[in-house]
Structure 1
């Protein structure tokens, strides 16, 4: 199945003004949760939650077949 989340990012100095920071220890840098780099540069080929096709990778498009991943990447194929 798919799981979805919403990421809200801002400079730490603005975090106390957000309801989402309630209960978080903003003074501890190790408490921060890193987020990914984004779909366009992500290397996971078969991600079912990909929002954009990857940059520089050829897609494996077949109009006669349905797939779980929205932008299937051709194996070993690069563009450019």
Structure 2
């Protein structure tokens, strides 16, 4: 939801809603997002190469090259 409604939601209790550090920046779509270190990524980006290693374990199952 929009941050203007945060005070009405229990999950926002204790958050400093005036601080930019309290929010995770998000893009319009994972497919076109340029952020390579995003822990919320659901799909790989369209125009970037991927590197997959069976010996690597991290948040994403691939590395964005």
TM-score, structure 2 normalization: 0.53
Higher strand fraction (1 or 2): 1
Runs of 4+ with >6 A deviation: none
Structure 1 CA distance, aligned partners of 2:59 and 2:43? 14
Structure having the higher Rg: 1
Q: Which runs of 5+ in 1 are unaligned?
A: 1-6, 8-19, 24-34, 75-80
In 1, the alpha carbon distance for the partners of 2:62 and 2:46 equals 11
> Which whole-Å CA distance do the structure 1 matches of 2:63 and 2:30 have between them?
13
Structure-1-length-normalised TM-score: 0.44
Gaps (5+ residues) in structure 2? 9-25
